[in-house]
Structure 1
Amino acid sequence: MSSRFLPEAIRGAWFYVPEDYDLTRPHERTRMQLVFRIDGSFTRYQIKNDSRRPVENGDYTYDGNFLILRGRNTDTFRVKQQGYWRWDLEGKKKEQRLLRALVDLDAPLPLSDAASRDIRILPLWVKIHRRFQGPDTIFEAHYSPDDQDPQLVATFFIEELDEKRWIGITPLVTGIEPRTWERIIQDCLLDLFLGKPSDIGVVTLRLLDSGEARVFNYKTSS
């Protein structure tokens, strides 16, 4: 099966779960996280009761059809991309899934016109949460109006390359423009959540649904 996304689309942090994983109770079972880096290395984490520890390091190759993990053992999977947020892995044993978020999603949900307008005018309506402490974490972005329950609008990961940051954003809704995502990262993540870090220079954002990239110099914009 040919991929709709380039091989580099595997980059970043994923949840790694069995095909029959119950997404209605995602925090009640032990699960895994896989992180794929641009240098060809990967780390597998075990997550239990929302605590996380690394259990395996190795290297990988992915050509758009087959994923090979070389860690303690060598595992080969045929990859079926069901969407930019979910890839199915067919192996010799039980099938697995790579998920950018622990949500049961057939397609991104449309934001209401009011919510889209709120976020466009004032990105600080979006609150950032960190799923786990330490490196390779998965961040969540929630639209959090005062009079409604928070709505998960995206997950993302950050890859650090000296003073550069590469941020992969997985939109889980429609109705937020690329330039608004850039403001969310600058205002909500870098300024507010991370406290305006001084060691960040060039930031590259990649929207994983469209592949569109935006680049800005954080030192000169903050």
Structure 2
Amino acid sequence: MLLLAMDTATPAVTVALYGEGRVLASWEQIDARRHGELLMPAVDRVLTSAGRKISEVTGLVVGNGPGPYTGLRVGLVTAATLGAALSVPVYGLCTLDGIAYAAGQAGLSGPFVVATDARRKEVYWARYTDPRTRATGPAVDRAGELPAEVTALPAAGAGALLYADAFADPRRDAPRHASAGALAALAAERLAAGEEPGPPRPLYLRRPDAQVPAGYKVVTP
């Protein structure tokens, strides 16, 4: 099994190649405005670093979000296109699950919450009983309006640090953004256990900013 994983649901453009029970190569860059520009060169860089060819990949893993529309669709479309070209399965995982898994590798055992920046003074969040088990979410809310039983937990992710006053225990030593390596490792665990991850379907959680204008003047007969 050789998994190529990617995520563009957070400001991180992150790609990893997973095989032989470990991450063979990974790359990431924090740049919320250049997902489309950075992703495919990152795929090439990771494959080259691992000494593997794209034709050797047996499956793709992509973060489903939640995340902003523009960034999130870059990873999903790229993964779907590569999967179709290679005739290999494409697995979708919640991006917050990947951050939770990485938080576990960093020493956070649970229960805890993962929160990423959703802009508009909101966070995307989910609550976990342990790094592999999501109990609640994903959802999007204002940080200051989250339930007390959520904000009282240790919190990982950029959203927890951005709105640190809303959380009782924001963890600065925990991962802030998505990790393709963690996504791939989590997918590999689930596949080995016979639990095939879901399809690559985006978790937008709210309507897009762009709206069809109302009351516009018709200029054609």
Asked if Structure 1 and Structure 2 have the same fold, meaning a TM-score greater than 0.5 normalized by the shorter chain, the answer is no
- Bigger relative contact order, structure 1 or 2 (CA pairs below 8 A, ≥6 apart): 2
Higher strand share: 1
Higher helix share: 2
Relative to the length of structure 1, the TM-score reads: 0.29
